[in-house]
Amino acid sequence: MPNNSTSFATQLQKAQHHAMQNDPGMICMGLGIDDPKAIFGTTSGLQTAFGQSRVFDMPTAENAMTGIGVGAAIAGTRVLMTHQRVDFFLLAMDQLVNNAAKWHYMFNGQMSVPLTIRLIVGRGWGQGPTHQQSLQSWFSHIPGLKVVVPGLTDNAGQLLYDAIMDNNPTIFLEHRWLHNQIASEDECQPLTEQPRHTRILREGEDYTIISNSYMLSEALQAQKYMQQFGIQCEVIEIASPTNIDWHVLYQSVKKSRRCIVTDMGHTFCSLASEIANRIYSECFQSLLCPVTTLGLPHYPEPTSYGLTPDYYPNINSFIQTISGNCGVDIARITTTQHHDIPGEWFKGPF
Amino acid sequence: MPDLKEVYFQTLRIRKIEEAIAERYSEQKMRCPTHLSIGQELVPVAISQYLTTRDKAYSSHRAHAHYLAKGGDLSKLIAELHGKSGGCTAGRGGSMHLSDLDCGFIASTAIVGNSIPLATGNALHQQLSQSDGITISYFGDGATEEGAFYESLNFATVRSLPILYACENNQYSVYSPLSVRQPASRSIAKLAAEIGVKSFSVDGNDPQRVLEASQAAIEFIRKERKPALVEYFTYRHREHCGPNFDDELNYREAHEVEEWLANDPLKNLQKLLSSDSDFSHFQARVSEQITQEIEAAFNFASSSPFGDPIDNERYIYAK
């Protein structure tokens, strides 16, 4: 580990500190925001730095508290809310969809809602049916919402800072398995610069992989592995489903003529299927094989370790698809690591 | 105590505006669901006597009286009902999404109970920014069955927010009476008191009682910087949504309707003012003035153009 290493969680924490400094009216609220675990370390030191009136724990009332955030934001307070699991936030869909998303439009541009909601996606260790949903497709379906789904440490802080400072309601979906992801501080994008939401991370001629969130880690590993066999994958990050540079995607697919789109959620009616549909429309003549969507099957995640080894796509899902469509026989990777944890550092329970 | 003639004027004005909307609704030019405030006008008129533009209001689907009493522009309301570009949201929101920021009427929303958290958030902003203003949250008895009501009052108490929860209890959620929705022993005021909110309960059609309770609640909020709730018992004269009477459906007992029509806030104000020798003259004068104002508002709405659908993609996002 290099001396100047940093983590995904640290970058998020820095972004919040910086935003609170730059907007003296801004508030942060969330269940457990100031507790000893500080939301996986992402809110450490915030309350000490900015006081209890600006950084505060809240009642277990997701719906009204979201509405209170919306109401304060409409009045002119910049608001950041954090929920430790997406699934609990579903109680607040009325406030998000009927009020936050539509407010600026419905009142003809007279008011805006500078509100960011951090939602953390769980996975593995028996998180089961109601602690791991990744609903980027749901949120992206609603006009007026911005959705940001970070996948890498180098721009996680920048993406969060930008979301907070944006004057629109923004859902910031963090995957739990990314919090410990390490990068060098030198690689991290300056917080206050405008982020690029669509980024080509690896260039390649043979296959386009469009990905975000934790699946981006699997995609990058697959890219590296396939390189050994002479197959060059182009990996594109789409950090915001509501702000995709479509031209970059089309240009890549027209070049590579093959494409995988990943999704952390169920692929049925998903962001992945929407992207695949657009690629079929725009790149139909170029495609050598069908676009593959890699995501979850259409049933809830069972809790049991024994029932879930194949629930999430992994590096082998990429290897299988790519080798099949390129007409080469490439061995899968065998691993002894448990499928329900991101690494040996993870010991549960939560 | 505010001038009762002024209260009468404001109440009559809203009544006549709502009746004019009802009368012309069948022309089918106002093509949006419309929930009239007829019978419930006194509550917001009384509350608004104690407010300034620094005080902000939120409301729900039955919002015309709240908007008008706070000082919302009449022409923009009528144009909004007609879906015209001169409307208060240029036709984007309709009757259930009103706003007039100049007078401090932030917004009404259509989903039962969902503006209560917004109002509470506004009060949080007032507290954080050390404003001396307060927030008014208008809603009906149905909204008190929503979790958002309880959750908001709970937070307002925990955080000591300057907000008046104004509950107009008209006893019906569309056709469903309170008896199928809440236990017979329930008092919304007592429920709020148990949550920790200073509470009052009053006949919402009795002018003096309504003024007294509203004044007491608002003075408490201003002085203590804490939340209060007033439960105002009142009655809508017409159907839940639309311009007509619907008593032929028999969902309300005939004697109940008669009693409440006899306890009409406008009639009650007239009785109180009848001993004033100047009253009939005043009544005739303001009535004529209001009629002219309404006529002008409908003319404005009629002459205001529809917006251009080419602009429909504007304002999806703020800059």
ipTM of the complex model = 0.97
Threshold 0.90, pTM exceeds: yes
Residue length, chain A? 350
Of A25, A53, A99, the CB nearest to B118: A99
pLDDT of residue B276: 92
What is the DSSP track for A243-293?
S--HHHHHHHHHHH--EEEEEEEESTTSHHHHHHHHHHHHHTTT-SSPPEE
pLDDT digits (tens, 9 = 90+) for B77-101: 999 999 999 999 999 999 999 999 9
Looking at the domain that runs over B4-298, which CATH code has it been given?
Answer: 3.40.50.970
Q: Which of left, alpha, beta for B130 (phi over 0: left; psi -120 to 50: alpha)? A: left
Residues 6 or more apart from B306 whose CB is under 8 A from it?
B83, B84, B85, B91
User: Per-domain residue ranges for chain B?
Assistant: 4-298
Question: Which of A74, A77, A109 faces B118 most closely, judged by CB atoms?
Answer: A74
Domain A198-326: CATH architecture, name and number where available? 3-Layer(aba) Sandwich (3.40)
* Phi, psi angles (nearest 5°) of residue A173: -100, 110
User: With contacts defined as CB-CB under 8 Å, which chain B residues touch A146?
Assistant: 317
Across the interface, whether the CB atoms of B318 and A94 are under 8 A apart is answered no
| CATH architecture of the domain covering A5-187 | 3-Layer(aba) Sandwich (3.40)
pLDDT (tens place) for every residue of chain A, 350 residues total: 567 999 999 999 999 999 999 999 999 999 999 999 999 999 999 999 999 999 999 999 999 999 999 999 999 999 999 999 999 999 999 999 999 999 999 999 999 999 999 999 999 889 999 999 999 999 999 999 999 999 999 999 999 999 999 999 999 999 999 999 999 999 999 999 999 999 999 999 999 999 999 999 999 999 999 999 999 999 999 999 999 999 999 999 999 999 999 999 999 999 999 999 999 999 999 999 999 999 999 999 999 999 999 999 999 999 999 999 999 999 999 988 899 998 877 777 66
Cross-chain residue pair B117–A70, CB shorter than 8 Å: yes
Contacts of A73 in chain B (CB under 8 A): 121
Interface of A with B (CB under 8 A): 25, 27, 53-54, 58-59, 61, 63-77, 94-95, 98-99, 104-113, 143-144, 146, 167-168
Nearest-angstrom CA–CA distance, B156 and B197? 8
CA B255 to chain centre: 26
The residue behind tokens 């809508």 is B236
CB–CB of B118 and A112 under 8 A?
A: no
Q: Decide if A107 and B155 are in contact by the 8 Å CB cutoff.
A: no
What is the predicted pLDDT for the residue at A1?
57
Mutate to test the interface with B, among A68, A77, A141 (most CBs of B within 10 A): A68
Buried b (16+ CB within 10 A) or exposed e, A288-304: eeebbbbbbeeeebebe
- Identify which of B290, B271, B293, B280 has the alpha carbon closest to the alpha carbon of residue B13: B290
What residue in B sits closest to A65 (Cα-Cα)? Answer: B117
Test mutation, B54, B80, B84, B122, chain A, max A CBs within 10 A: B122
Where along chain A do the CATH 3.40.50.970 domains lie?
5-187
Q: Please tell me which of the candidates A68, A112, A167 has its beta carbon nearest to residue B120.
A: A68
Residues on chain A touching B129 (C-beta within 8 angstroms): 25, 76-77
Q: What is the pLDDT of residues B142-166, one digit of tens each?
A: 999 999 999 999 999 999 999 999 9
pLDDT tens-place string over residues B197-252: 999 999 999 999 999 999 999 999 999 999 999 999 999 999 999 999 999 999 99
From A82's Cα to the closest Cα of chain B, the distance in A is: 16
DSSP at B229: E
Answer whether A61 sits within 8 Å of B89, measured CB to CB. Answer: no
CA distance B107 to chain A (A): 9
